[in-house]
Copies of this chain bind each other. A is one copy, B any other.
Amino acid sequence: MSTPLIHPTAHVEPGAKLGENVSVGPFAVVHANVEIGRDTELGSHCEIGLPSPLSGGGPLVVGPGSVIRSHSVLYEGSTYGERLITGHRVTLRERTTAGRNARFGTLTDIQGDCEIGDFFRAHSNVHVGKHSRIGNFVWIFPYCVLTNDPHPPSHIQMGCVIEDYAVVATMSVILPGVRVGSHAVVGAHTLVNRDVQPYTLVAGNPAKPIRATREIMLRDGTGRPAYPWPSHFREGYPDDAFADWDSDQPAAG
């Protein structure tokens, strides 16, 4: 073994629970109140398990087979399932749960108090406000914001709800308390100020329904529909991930 698992420059506090084969990069900081699953990589310059008075005192739990890229900050008091993947400089705050194989791209900021399902994908620089609820297989693209305060600043927090398989494209804002239905698509640069129906594409400022997502064709010459996207995009998912989506899609519009 030429490279030690814990880089000699890393700072790991006594009490941190690191599973087998967990590696810790140069200049990383691992606090005591963490439980990191086996076969996980912690990148350089990370801070893992940052204490916070808002955490409720619980540990940071990261499932096995995870990758935390450099300069990321994960607070104590949150739990992530197996194969969590982060980009660089990600912030994941307190009292958040995510299922298996969540991916939080570079610069993404999860503000805390969020519930996130399995196989979530936040591409890059996504901001998820407190009290958001996100389903399974949801995709959110760069520079999107899920808000929560209907008349900022105030003490009222109305988190957004993003249902299973929904897609939010680049530079879109979801206003407080709005629900984006399952298999819906929010087009790029959209302000979503009311609920989005399932299997519907919306776009504009403010968002308007454009068409059924089923009418959008793949631009690959095959004439196949682009949505529901699991029909053609299965990269990185388990074989049985989409076993039940097919039955509830409406006929093509």
Task: Name A's B-contacting residues (CB within 8 A).
Answer: 7, 9, 11, 25-27, 29, 43-45, 47, 50, 70-71, 73, 87-89, 91, 106-107, 109, 111, 121, 124-125, 127, 139, 141-143, 145, 147, 150-156, 158, 167, 169-171, 173, 175, 188-189, 191, 204-205, 216, 218-220, 226-227, 229, 232-233, 235
Contact = CB atoms under 8 A, between A and B. Distances in A.
A70 B70 contact: no
A167 B154 CA distance: 12
SS class of chain A's interface: helix, strand, loop or mixed?
loop
Contacts of A139: 152-153
Contact of A71 (B45, B171, B175): B45
Contact of A232 (B26, B107, B155, B235): B155
A151 B218 contact: yes
Contact of A29 (B27, B125, B145, B150): B27
A198 to B, nearest CB: 17
Count identical subunits in the complex.
3
20 contacts: A9-B11, A9-B27, A71-B73, A73-B88, A89-B91, A106-B109, A107-B109, A121-B153, A139-B152, A142-B145, A145-B171, A151-B218, A154-B226, A154-B229, A155-B232, A156-B218, A170-B173, A173-B188, A173-B189, A175-B188
Contacts of A25: 29
Contacts of A218: 151, 154, 156
A154 B233 contact: yes
A11 B29 contact: no
A227 B151 CA distance: 8
A84 to B, nearest CB: 19
A162 B196 CA distance: 33
A165 B155 CA distance: 17
Contacts of A232: 154-155
A83 B188 CA distance: 35
